[in-house]
Amino acid sequence: QVQLVESGGGLVQAGGSLSLSCAASGRTFSSYTMGWFRQAPGKEREFVGAISGSGGSTYYADSVKGRVTISRDNAKNTVYVLQMNSLKPEDTAVYYCAVAYRDYARLEDQYDYWGQGTQVTVSS
């Protein structure tokens, strides 16, 4: 059974940094795209960024580009990390990790498995 578990959320002041982890189990994910999404209160879930199966390609939403880095450790089958810097109050949201059996996935319906989410709150 595929399981994705996020961790690392919490409360941080604006301008600070936070690292979220996603532990994937139940399958070998080294060939699949692994992404991060977020959902702020009253808003739809939105794409944050993703990393390719090999880890050689990453892509991000414009709203976070330059402030966010995604990495993965396939040797740990698989832990992948969302590093967020220069956080803003508008980054407050529940953050979800997800896996897609395709390349360059940016849309929710392109992802096949989801974690339960972890709350990130950025105070001003």
Neighbours of 15 (CB within 10 A): 11
Strand, helix or coil for residue 76: helix
Nearest of 111, 93, 91 to residue 101 by alpha carbon: 111
Structure tokens at 5: 């578990």
Q: Is the CA virtual torsion 77, 16, 91, 121 positive or negative? A: positive
> pLDDT tens, 32-56?
899 999 999 999 999 999 998 877 8
pLDDT tens per residue across span 67-96: 999 998 766 667 788 999 999 999 999 999
Q: Quickly tell me which residue has 């929710």 as its tokens.
A: 108
